[in-house]
């Protein structure tokens, strides 16, 4: 059953005209909410405003939103203010919503032809006031220049793609998870509104060899060397130069196809090349799928330490195809699982229980990853939406990482990140047991689960706790003199604690 197609936007942006055209094209009935109110009240909107005031009108609008959000297969043009209240937008959150935009000059000219609109006098103030809310709507269509037929055709196409891809929660970007979906990459890019720009795909030779054939034929391919040692400013410079050579500008689109290394660097280039351009994440490792592709942290390493240069830059969208994990080496898969366990401890007890009962390696297969990926990402989304710039809550995602980074450092990066995080999770839990009232049972569960997932839980031979603490204290000197640890107390309850 098709959902409703909702057209919204400021007065004079062409909602009703586009709606009627779409109704002819798609064969769905057209409903203009203002006209429904007028028919039911027996007077026009201007008269209703005059006789009963705006709040009365808004309440009628709200009642209509309640009524029509329960229907399907309708094309609905809202009034300009209908979706300004959050509760009305929420009612239509399962539907395909399109926001029509036009420059104020065009709107003014269109309004001058129709004197019956009650709020037309304060149009400029109202227009400015409503922009931030309209900005929250995922699909934006410009109706300033193009013929109305072109706008309707484009909406028809996007409506079709809405049946394929998951729309994002308001104010966030889409993250679509589906096996085999890399085949539809070109459609995903079009759906994001980036289909008209040139596309450059950044990846490493190994991944390109495996997946090049699934990329749009017109994409520029930018190959970078594989591995963490190349996550640095030299490689970033190589990408800049290749983009310049191929004539790409800020109006074009970058796409990261790879693990966290490719993703972090591509995001950093997208944040800085031509002062910023759009980019898309197509993560290929489990770690990148559940962690690094979401949240907008981008950057590179310096010889002095990891991720010391970077920027916050959100992707326009993330496309996750769990089928790509079939070619990922098992050790890398396990590294991703360590981050998933971390997410489960922070915010999803049910995921932890699921992993305990269905450890993905126990039965030898790699089935079940789709659900696990979705749940783990949801923990991260919830946190980064609330605290995008790591002022407080986002620090929770560093659970096990202060220990983990020190372990990586002491091992000269021979222990991969995910394995170091696994040991770090156990270290954090054991420290919390001694000093921060962590539930003893939780320490046992973390240890057992990581072992079941065939991840290391002990410090490597020759690495002492004393050395670990010294390495962490060294880290402390570079911050504000205090070592902050993220420690678990119970499942779903982790805290940031300052340690002397």
Ligand X SMILES: NC(=O)c1ccc[n+]([C@@H]2O[C@H](COP(=O)([O-])OP(=O)(O)OC[C@H]3O[C@@H](n4cnc5c(N)ncnc54)[C@H](O)[C@@H]3O)[C@@H](O)[C@H]2O)c1
Q: Which of 50, 90, 206, 237 binds ligand X (CB under 6 A)?
A: 206
Is the separation of the CB atoms in 313 and 246 below 8 Å? no
Is the separation of the CB atoms in 180 and 51 below 8 Å? no
Is the separation of the CB atoms in 319 and 186 below 8 Å? no
Number of residues that this document lists for the chain: 500
- In this structure, the strands spanning 175-177 and 317-320 are parallel
Site for ligand X in 383-422 (CB under 6 A): 417
Q: Which is nearer to ligand X, 167 or 297 (CB)?
A: 297
Is the separation of the CB atoms in 336 and 290 below 8 Å? yes
Q: Which positions ≥6 away from 407 have C-beta within 8 Å?
A: 415, 420, 423, 424, 459, 460, 463, 468
Q: Please, what is the minimum distance in Å from the beta carbon of residue 427 to ligand X?
A: 18
Q: Please, what is the minimum distance in Å from the beta carbon of residue 310 to ligand X?
A: 8
Is the separation of the CB atoms in 485 and 470 below 8 Å? no
**Binding range to ligand X, per CB under 6 A, among 100-108, 326-334, 423-431, 464-472:** 326-334
Q: Which is nearer to ligand X, 332 or 348 (CB)?
A: 332
Is the separation of the CB atoms in 332 and 344 below 8 Å? no
* 222 touching ligand X, by CB under 6 A: no
Site for ligand X in 415-434 (CB under 6 A): 417
Q: How far is CA 300 from CA 225, 262, 281, 407, in A?
A: 14, 10, 16, 19
Which are the catalytic amino acids? 275, 297, 339, 380, 390, 394, 398, 401, 405, 417
Is the separation of the CB atoms in 275 and 300 below 8 Å? no
Closest-by-Cβ residue to ligand X is: 260
How far apart are alpha carbons 137 and 143 in whole angstroms? 16
Q: Please, what is the minimum distance in Å from the beta carbon of residue 292 to ligand X?
A: 3
Torsions phi, psi for 334 (to 5 deg): -65, -40
Q: Which is nearer to ligand X, 287 or 340 (CB)?
A: 287
Q: Which of 332, 348, 408, 419 binds ligand X (CB under 6 A)?
A: 332
Q: Please, what is the minimum distance in Å from the beta carbon of residue 421 to ligand X?
A: 9
The count of chain residues that interact with ligand X, using the rule CB under 6 A, is 30
Q: Which is nearer to ligand X, 96 or 204 (CB)?
A: 204
* 204 touching ligand X, by CB under 6 A: yes
How far apart are alpha carbons 406 and 468 in whole angstroms? 6
How far apart are alpha carbons 257 and 267 in whole angstroms? 11
* 297 touching ligand X, by CB under 6 A: yes
Q: Which of 64, 77, 215, 287 binds ligand X (CB under 6 A)?
A: 287
Q: How far is CA 410 from CA 87, 225, 229, 403, in A?
A: 52, 25, 16, 11
Q: Please, what is the minimum distance in Å from the beta carbon of residue 474 to ligand X?
A: 19
Q: Which is nearer to ligand X, 252 or 264 (CB)?
A: 264
Site for ligand X in 227-286 (CB under 6 A): 227-228, 231, 258-262, 264, 284-285
Q: Which of 82, 242, 281, 292 binds ligand X (CB under 6 A)?
A: 292
Q: Which is nearer to ligand X, 8 or 402 (CB)?
A: 402
Residues that bind ligand X (CB under 6 A): 204, 206-207, 210, 226-228, 231, 258-262, 264, 284-285, 287-288, 291-292, 295, 297, 306-307, 324, 327-328, 332, 335, 417
């Amino acid at each position: 059953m098709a959902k409703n197609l909702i057209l919204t936007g400021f007065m004079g942006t062409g909602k009703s005209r586009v709606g009627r055209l779409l109704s002819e094209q798609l064969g769905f009935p057209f409903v203009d909410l203002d006209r429904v109110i007028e028919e039911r009240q027996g007077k026009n909107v201007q008269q209703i405003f005059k006789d009963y005031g705006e709040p009365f009108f808004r309440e009628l609008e709200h009642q209509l939103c309640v009524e029509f959000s329960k229907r399907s297969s309708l094309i609905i043009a809202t009034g300009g203010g209908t979706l300004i209240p959050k509760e009305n937008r929420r009612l239509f959150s399962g539907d395909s919503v399109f926001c029509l935009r036009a420059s104020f000059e065009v709107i003014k000219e269109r309004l001058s032809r129709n004197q019956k609109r009650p709020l037309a006098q304060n149009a400029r103030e109202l227009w400015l006031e409503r922009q931030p809310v309209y900005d929250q709507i995922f699909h934006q269509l410009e109706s300033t220049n193009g013929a109305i037929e072109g706008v309707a055709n484009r909406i028809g196409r996007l409506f079709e793609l809405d049946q394929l891809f998951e729309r994002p929660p308001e104010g966030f970007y889409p993250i679509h998870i589906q096996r085999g979906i890399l085949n539809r990459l070109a459609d995903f890019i079009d759906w994001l509104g980036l289909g008209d720009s040139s596309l450059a795909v950044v990846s490493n030779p190994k991944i390109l060899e495996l997946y090049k054939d699934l990329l749009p034929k017109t994409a520029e391919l930018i190959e970078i060397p594989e591995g963490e040692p190349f996550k640095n400013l030299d490689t970033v410079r190589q990408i800049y130069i290749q983009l310049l050579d191929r004539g790409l500008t800020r109006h074009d689109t970058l796409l990261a196809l790879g693990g966290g290394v490719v993703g972090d660097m591509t995001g950093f280039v997208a944040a800085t090349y031509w002062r910023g351009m759009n980019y898309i994440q197509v993560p290929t490792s489990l770690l990148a799928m559940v962690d690094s592709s979401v949240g907008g942290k981008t950057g590179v390493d310096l010889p002095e330490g990891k991720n010391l240069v970077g920027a916050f830059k959100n992707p326009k969208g993330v496309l996750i195809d769990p089928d790509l994990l079939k070619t990922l080496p098992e050790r890398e898969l396990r590294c991703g699982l360590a981050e998933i366990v971390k997410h489960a401890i922070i915010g999803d007890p049910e995921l932890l229980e699921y992993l305990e009962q269905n450890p993905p390696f126990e039965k030898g297969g790699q089935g079940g990853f789709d659900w696990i990926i979705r749940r783990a990402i949801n923990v991260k989304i919830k946190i980064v939406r609330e605290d995008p710039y790591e002022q407080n809550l986002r620090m929770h995602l560093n659970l096990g990482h202060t220990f983990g980074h020190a372990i990586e450092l002491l091992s000269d990066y021979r222990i991969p990140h995910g394995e170091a995080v696994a040991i770090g999770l156990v270290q954090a839990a054991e420290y919390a047991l001694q000093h921060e009232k962590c539930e003893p049972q939780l320490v046992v569960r973390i240890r057992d689960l990581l072992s079941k997932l065939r991840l290391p839980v002990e410090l490597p031979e020759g690495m002492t706790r004393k050395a670990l603490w010294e390495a962490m204290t060294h880290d402390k000197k570079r911050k504000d003199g205090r070592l902050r640890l993220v420690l678990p107390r119970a499942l779903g309850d982790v805290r940031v604690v300052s340690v002397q």
